[in-house]
Amino acid sequence: MPCGSFNVSVPTELPKLYTSVEVVCAVTSFVGNLLVLIAFVRYRRLRCVTNYYVISLAVADLLVALSSAPPLSY
C-alpha cells in the first residue's frame, strides 16, 4: 500500500479549554520570570554567583513560555 493512500482525519483546531489553559500557563510563566529578571537587575544585592544560575533558568523558562503558547492566529 503506498504511503499517500491513508485516509485519516487530523483535527485542525485545538479544544478551547486546552488552548485557554495553555495561554494562562504561558502568560503566568512569562510574567513570573520577567519579575525575577527585573528584581535581579534592580536590586544589586541579588547579584551573587548562585543567583546567576537562577537568572539563567529564568531566561530559559521565559523562552519556553514564549514558544509554547499555541498560535493565536488561525
Q: What's the pLDDT at 4?
A: 63
Q: What's the pLDDT at 27?
A: 85
pTM for the whole thing? 0.68
| Nearest-angstrom CA–CA distance, 57 and 51 | 10
Each of the 74 residues of the chain gets a pLDDT tens digit; together they read 556 666 777 666 778 888 788 888 888 888 999 999 999 999 999 999 999 999 999 999 988 877 876 565 44
| Nearest-angstrom CA–CA distance, 29 and 57 | 12
Q: What's the pLDDT at 74?
A: 45
Exposed/middle/buried for 41, CB within 10 Å: 0-12, 13-18, 19+? exposed
Q: What's the pLDDT at 15?
A: 81
